[in-house]
Structure 1
Amino acid sequence: MKRYEALAETLAQDIRNGSLPAGTRMPSIRKTVAQYGVSPSTAFQAYYRLEERGLVRARERSGYYVAGPTGRTLPPPKARPSQKVSTEVDISRLVFAVLEAARDRELVQFGSAFPSPELFPWNRLGKSLARAGRDLDPWYSVNDLPPGNPVLRQQIGLRYLGAGAPQPTDDIIVTNGALEALNLCLMAVTQPGDVVAIESPGFYAALQALERLKLKAVEIPVDPVDGVDLDALEAAIGRHPIKACWFMTQFHNPTGASMPEDKKQALVALLTRHQVPLIEDDVYGELYFGDRCPLPAKAFDTDGLVMHCSSFSKTLSPGFRIGWVAPGRFGEAIRHLKLMTTLSAGVPTQVALAEYLQHGSYDKHLRRLRHVLETRQGQMITAIGQHFPDEVRVSRPDGGYFLWVEFASGFDALALHRAALAEGIAIAPGPIFSARQGYRNCIRLNYGHAWDARAEAAVATLGALARAQSVAAARR
């Protein structure tokens, strides 16, 4: 890392952790040179880098200031109260109706669950796939049955090691994407009618999995800044026979929240005391904006209760459908379920990804991807500050590619969704993220697609639609 990049990252970290709040004047170039022992050129380059990432803004004859959209700080959304009863889940019809829009290329895809496919290294992946097809050993079709291709599992194991959360390579099970891993974990520890603790708001695929397996949900509130409410979780464990928890501990979908590492450790300790398994959905973990990969809850698991699930779908190749699970004590059950359901993940894609991870500069790709996503986040938040109603609240996560936007009470996100579609814009309304179809005044926006004049105009249109609805709601 070059000196100006290292300095920019140090200052960016101070902005993210609140040491330099929005609107604060940044240290002058002269002071930065003296404080960090760098040249004026290095300091200027660092500030240019921060400005490019949307973290600071230059004011004529005044210096640089921490970015605060249109001069106002957008506060984070509020946490919601906990739920005291379990709920039968019936959400799929609404989810399918909303997600149908994600297939339309003509729409501005603020509602998509994936970043732009243009961000992935398709040419290099294509070469790896061609090489895999050309050199494929016929015995791979047998050898790569669960737990999966040994070279790929070794490469995944090395990533755990590099992140500071080592896992035995022999335990890692390759799956058809993270969603299959998560479903296999759920099947391994529950029976129809059981109660599962999920996040609120939470990932709609978790709701659909519970619905399909005829499980009941207890929704645990998520603080949009630091994740699951542990007090509410402990109270829920006391009230309900909870058989498992399905949580996203970092860069949570839809809020972007990340649990601090001490809170993840406390979560694992709480579940260990009560012997409740944790299904940890960590598909966004490598999309962090800081200087190191945050530790997953799995890193604090000493009792084998955490099943850590991830994939390459959000970082490298959605269409390859390759995920995995580090299953703890549940490995045998999950391997058997894998054999009984889909048998194996695609053999050529496993071999191709193993080759890419060995020789394809994955970490270089990730650094570029994180930089693009952080820059686009700043651009979208700035546009929201310019165009959305004054009372709006918005998350500012430290990674991933989702913003959680909360409007005033009485706002109708489903009505905004319909009005936006009519204008060629797809969004994800809050009700699809709750078993009770709550969060009707919230939406999720994806900033992982190209930020251009069309995207900026779409935010302005959304803002105009939201302002009109806010005025109408206030009159009722």
Structure 2
Amino acid sequence: MGRYELLAEQIKAQILNKVWRAGERIPSIRQCCKTAGLSPMTVLQAYQLLESQGWIYARPKSGYFVSHQTLNLLEPTRQPVKLQSTQVDINNILFDVLQNTKDSSLIQLGSAFPDPQLFPLKALTRSLASSSRKMSPFSTVSNLPPGNEPLRQIIAQRYAQQGMQINPDEIVITSGGMEALNLSLQAVTQPGDLVAIESPTFYGALQAIERLKLKAVEIPTHPRTGVDLNVLAQSLQQLPIKACWFMTSFQNPLGFCMSQEDKRDLVSMLSLYHVPLIEDDVYGELYFGNERPLPAKAYDAHSSVLHCASFSKCLSPGFRVGWVAAGNHTEKIQRLQLMSTLSASIPTQLALNEYLRAGGFDAHLRRLRRMLEQRQHQMLQAIQYYLPTNVKVTQPEGGYFLWLEFAKEIDSFALYQRLLAEKVAIAPGILFSSQKQYTHHIRINYALPWNSRVENAIDLLGRLLG
């Protein structure tokens, strides 16, 4: 055990023995250096470890404080969903809400994007400059779909590290995760087809279904365990569902991660009905546990799962590079891409390949996960302190979203408008359903840097909920 770990254990014991009580400030890093005879770096590491474990939390310019260890938070309830196909009409309201995400004067609790300062932007910029200088004049042609071969190879290697055998030729590089998902949906459906989605679901899925003139079938979803497989089986028996679009790990907005058994059963069930699964796994790397959960694709014996992922949520939001491991649908995905965007950006493909081969990606991911876990704890602490006790909130083990359920008389869209007037943006629940449900729910982003502005926004939310 290292020196910082020993110090962390000593402070933890002091907290358990009530030397330091919940809400009290512990000694500063400088004070601890003097009393413990350790370097500032060692003490900082100990404090960061305690923070990641939820024992303490930081207040900007104030120091470190003892956390309230028991989060007495209620879990959101699974909402009833009508088993029917629905014409999607969400783009107008969604456009208005998303426009506000560009306003830098707002506190962006409703943003779908992580804090850009969490990413190694300088290293990525160097890789972009370096790879651009070395770029061949023929790169435009050689990196057409399925995309840059060395990049596809390194992605295949990361699959192999999880025990998954994915041929690099099955991987198509796309302009972000959304293009991978949209191309996948287009490859397996025709206008008028029915697509099963989670309820609540990621609004990007609703946008794609609306654009392609498809219909949505919402499947009730538990905030901790995910899609109700019994209802899904009933839907497959009663309705001509042509595809499923599910986010099996750290779903947006609920944050659940389906168990490995349920993922296996899901793939087996869909195989029985010959229904392809579009697996949205853009948050898969953002886990807080000891190892990355296997995607449903790991149980795909018939190459019918289209596994979509991206570097946007875990490494480079601005580069817009994603991919789909498309199995039997690889050639069709390539043809569709050639007819639409032609290819993902060549310079960013080359830059990501260079960055990944230089090493350091996994070290970055470990730091990123630690920071997200700390920020989630800080946000949950604030929710417990400032919001009414009847508020229900998820406590996911990855990703960077929380789903909040209020009393039924609360209109979350009206709440969204009131908060906008106070320079605070949230994502109202109506965005996450084709059936206009979740009118007393919101989604908030906890990846923002924790500071007094964010804390004051949660305080304001609590006062408006009254």
Structure 2 length-normalised TM: 0.88
Partner of 1:221: 220
Q: Does the residue aligned with 1:435 lie in a helix, a strand or coil?
A: coil
Aligned-pair distance for 1:461? 0.7
Following the alignment from structure 2 to structure 1, what is the Cα–Cα distance between the partners of residues 17 and 165? Answer: 40
Structure 2 matches for 1:5-404, cutoff 5 A? Answer: 48-49=47-48, 51-53=50-52, 55-56=54-55, 67-69=69-71, 73-404=72-403
Q: What displacement does 1:49 show? A: 4.7
Taking the aligned partners of 1:168 and 1:45, their CA distance within structure 2 comes to: 43
Shifted more, 74-83 versus 237-246: the winner is 74-83
Separation of aligned partners in 1, 2:319 and 2:222: 33
Deviation at 1:75, TM superposition (A): 1.7
1:273 and 1:47, CA in 2 relative to 1: closer, same or farther beyond 3 A? farther
For residue 419 of structure 1, what is the aligned residue in structure 2? 418
Query: Once the 2 structures are TM-superposed, how far is the Cα of residue 164 of structure 1 from its aligned partner?
Result: 3.1
Q: Work out the CA distance in 2 between the residues paired with 1:328 and 1:99.
A: 33
CA distance in 1, matches of 2:51, 2:139: 46
Distance 2:16 2:198 in 1: 37
Gapped runs of 5+ residues in structure 2? 10-14, 20-35, 38-42, 58-65
Distance 1:457 1:336, change over 3 A: same
Listed one character per residue, the Cα deviations across residues 91-146 of structure 1 (whole Å, up to 9, x for unaligned) are: 01111111111111111111000111111111100100001110001121111001
Gaps of 5+ in 1: 10-24, 30-39, 59-63, 468-476
C-alpha deviations, 1:416-475, integer Å up to 9, x for none?
Answer: 1011111111100100000012101100000011101111111101111122xxxxxxxx
One-letter amino acid of the structure 2 residue matched with residue 375 of structure 1: Q
- When the two chains are superposed, the root-mean-square deviation of aligned CA atoms in Å is 2.7
Mark the CA change 1:97 to 1:325 in structure 2 (over 3 Å): closer, same or farther.
same
Q: Is the partner of 1:280 in helix, strand or coil?
A: strand
What is the Cα deviation at residue 50 of structure 1?
Answer: 5.2
Paired residue total: 436
1:460 aligns with 459
1:304-361 superposed Cα distances (whole Å, 9 cap, x missing partner): 1110000111111111110000001111111111111111111111000000000141
In 1, the alpha carbon distance for the partners of 2:401 and 2:82 equals 25
Contact 1:51 1:57 in 2 (8 A): yes
Amino acid corresponding to residue 434 of structure 2 in structure 1: A
The one-letter amino acid paired with 2:433 is S
Alpha-carbon offset, residue 65 of structure 1: 8.3
Q: Distance in 2 between matches of 1:214 and 1:93?
A: 15
Name the SS for the 2:256 alignment partner: coil
The 2-side partners of 1:6 and 1:180 are apart by 48
The answer to whether the 8 A contact 1:178-1:310 is kept is yes
Match of 1:446 in 2: 445
- Partner of residue 32, structure 1: none
Distance 2:144 2:7 in 1: 47
Shift of 1:28: 11
Per the TM alignment, residue 296 of structure 1 is displaced from its structure 2 partner at its CA by 0.4
Q: Could you say what secondary structure the match of 1:199 adopts? A: strand
Q: Distance in 1 between matches of 2:16 and 2:332?
A: 54
Give the 3-state SS of the residue equivalent to 1:318 in structure 2.
coil
Matches of 2:3 and 2:199 in 1, distance apart?
42
Paired residue type of 2:428? P
Residue 51 of structure 1 deviates from its aligned partner by 3.5
Distance 2:17 2:338 in 1: 59
Query: Residue 303 of structure 1 aligns to a residue in which SS?
Result: coil
Q: Is the alpha carbon distance of 1:27 and 1:198 closer, same or farther for their aligned partners in structure 2, counting shifts above 3 Å?
A: farther
Q: For the Cα contact (< 8 Å) 2:68–2:381, is it kept in 1?
A: no
Are the aligned partners of 1:327 and 1:334 in contact in 2 as well (CA < 8 Å)? yes
Q: Secondary structure at the match of 2:318?
A: helix
Cα pair 2:8 2:50 within 8 Å, conserved? no
Give deviations 1:209-249, integer Å, cap 9, x for gaps: 10011001000111110111101111111111000000000
Q: Whole-Å Cα distance in 2 between the matches of residues 188 and 345 of structure 1?
A: 18
Percent of aligned positions with the same letter in both sequences?
Answer: 53
Amino acid at match of 2:186: M
> Any conservation in 2 of the 1:5–1:49 contact (CA below 8 Å)?
no
Structure 1 Cα separation of the partners of residues 356 and 285 of structure 2? 14
Post-superposition offset of 1:82: 3.2
CA distance in 2: counterparts of 1:194 and 1:175, whole angstroms:
24
CA positional deviation for 1:67: 2.3
**Counterpart AA for 1:129:** L
Contact 2:419–2:425 under 8 Å retained in 1: yes
Q: 1:5 to 1:178 in 2, by over 3 A?
A: farther
Rounded Cα–Cα distance in structure 2 between residues aligned with 1:347 and 1:300: 32
Compared CA separation, residues 2 and 227, structure 1 to 2 (3 A): farther
CA distance 1:7–1:81, change in 2 (3 Å): farther
In structure 2, the partner of 1:13 is: none
